[in-house]
Amino acid sequence: MNNLIEVINDRCVGCSACVRVCPSPEANIVKITEDGRTVVEINNDKCIACGECIKACKTRARDYNDDTERFFKDLKDRKIMIIAHPAIKTAFPGTWQAVLKWFKQNGADSIYDGAYGADICTWAYIRAIEQGNAKNVVSQHCPAIVKYMELYHPDETRDLSPVHSPISCEAVYIRDYIKKNYAVAVLSPCPAMKLEFEATGHAEYNITFKRLKEYFRRKKIDFNKAVGSDLHYDFDDQVQGCMGGIFPAPGGLKYNLSINMPNITAISSDGAGVVYKELDTYAKLPPHRYPQVFEVLSCSGGCGCGCGVNDGDSDQTVIDVKNIMRDVEIDARNRRKTTMNGVDKQFKAFDDRVNPRSLMRNYDSGRKLAPELTVKDLEEVYAKLGKVTASDRKLDCGACGYDSCYDMAVAIYNGRNIPENCIMCAKHSSGSTPAAHADNSKASEIAEKVSSFATELLADIENIYASLYSIDKSNQQTASMSGIVEDILSKVVGFCSSTDSIDAENLPLLVSTLEKLQTAVGTLNANVKESAAGSSTIREAMQAVADATTELNVMTHDMVSTLNDKY
């Protein structure tokens, strides 16, 4: 079980935004707390730690954990080497070299370029494809994708790349070929990388860029921004990456493969709203329709846009990230060296030194998927929701967070959601209890009184209206105001006569109308009092209307008070 993503319950308002964006249908559990609040908790066993819920949550009720604090505590007494994910260039634009120097000055044994591991990874892909060990490959350098495949497409894990991720390839290279076996810490853009490290054992610390920025801010550590766009840094043991530097960008692997294998069939997809659905589609296709390589990244915009990159003070956009990655690509192309035959010299060095078999990975494909619900099971859930007709069951409004009513029914059946979280069910049940019926009965009684008073007032206003016109044209303003009051009263009568019951939905409309009535009557009364032509009969009638309006207003507030406990 992982606890990488956490819920701050006091901040959760149960809005289901997290459910709506989560690729894992089993990761969220809707519950009602003891104090009656709806909250969404996490099933850590089914969470893929993609971080989409963190991005979506407006109340900051979702956050993640990494190893930053533990790393700095252990750094004092332990030899630790650091692998810097190539996305560090976008996370710390202009200061990333200074950040790495700071680590070296503050106890890190050695610093390695994660882009070098990406170069090893590309080389191993090519050799696996050439040797027939990878006929149809789904990339695996995104750990959230790997976890999703293991959970929901265990049979298709056979198509996950047999080659380790760039970070793991580099960790193996450092351990087996440079012969350093210290603890490994990774500066990364992603909380999900911890899943990979726990599965492979290739790294112990996942230090996300976001937490690192927070640490520097707390410690008041500032870095001077470099002048220009220098992308050079002297990594230890001459482990300097090249084309692997563009791996964080969407299509980075595809591009690396294509410059070495121009005829390869490779496609790419990124973004949680797209990529997981495409993986679902992939799992349904016959093998002859697979591409040779399907490159997939969970985060839209690539690793540089992960939830572990920027804190609240950053104004960096995906455009900024892409601009930096463009510079990285140009720099890498300029540094890439090939033989007279066009063979990548770096790959030739790997051929001489690295055994591809040392870079292979296995996956957990043992999960058995739960059977689909039977018709009987679905009928029981739909009955709880009050969904009787086919149209009810195809409403698919999405208010619950799921794409369809069917998905919501499955979640309720499996205990991951509650009927009360269905907006249609909530509407049906709002007046279903005995107490609610009593409240509705009292509200209806008050509504009848409102209607009766409004009818009587309407007759009085009509008399005043006629009298005002018969006196003098100088009273046109007063007469006009009287007409407005008449119109408002007509609406009150019409509303009360056409509405079967007063509830939380139509109550605000009635209250708003009566408030307008009170204002209009007040203005009319003032006009009558100021009118020199106003007869005593009209003034007396107007005063009676004003008094009745006040009583009507009291009734309205009585209705509000009656219904407040219910709604």
- Reading the chain (567 residues) residue by residue, the pLDDT tens digits are 579 999 999 999 999 999 999 999 999 999 999 898 999 999 999 999 999 999 999 999 999 999 999 999 999 999 999 999 999 999 999 999 999 999 999 999 999 999 999 999 999 999 999 988 888 999 999 999 999 999 999 999 999 999 999 999 999 999 999 999 999 999 999 999 999 999 999 999 999 999 999 999 999 999 877 655 577 889 998 888 999 999 999 999 999 999 999 999 999 999 999 999 999 999 999 999 999 999 999 999 999 999 999 877 778 899 999 999 999 999 999 999 988 888 899 999 999 999 999 999 999 877 778 888 899 999 899 988 888 888 888 888 888 999 999 999 999 999 999 998 888 787 666 555 445 445 555 555 655 666 566 666 666 666 665 565 555 444 555 555 555 555 555 555 555 555 545 555 555 555 555 555 555 555 555 565 555 444 565 556 666 666 666 666 665 555 555 545 544
pLDDT at position 473: 44
Please give the Cα distance from 272 to 387 (Å, whole number): 31
Which residues of the chain does CATH 1.10.287 include? 435-565
Distance set, CA 250 to CA 11, 212, 213, 419, 501 (Å): 34, 24, 24, 40, 56
Number of H helices, E strands in the chain: 22, 11
Q: Strand order of the sheet with strand 110-113?
A: 110-113, 80-84, 183-188, 205-208
Amino acid making up residue 352 = D
For 105, phi then psi, to 5°, come to: -75, -15
Determine which helix (DSSP H) or strand (DSSP E) holds 266, and give its type and residue range: strand 266-270
Please give the Cα distance from 467 to 46 (Å, whole number): 76
Both tokens of 249, joined, read 């960008």
Both tokens of 300, joined, read 């839209």
Both tokens of 5, joined, read 């993503």
8-state DSSP, 155: G
Amino acid making up residue 135 = K
Both tokens of 277, joined, read 């659905």
* Residue whose token pair is 């005002």: 468
* Residue whose token pair is 């690793």: 303
Specify the fold of 435-565: Helix Hairpins (1.10.287)
Closest CA to 233 of 333, 98, 121, 328: 98
Both tokens of 527, joined, read 């006009």
Query: Distance between alpha carbon 339 and the CA centroid of its chain, in Å?
Result: 47
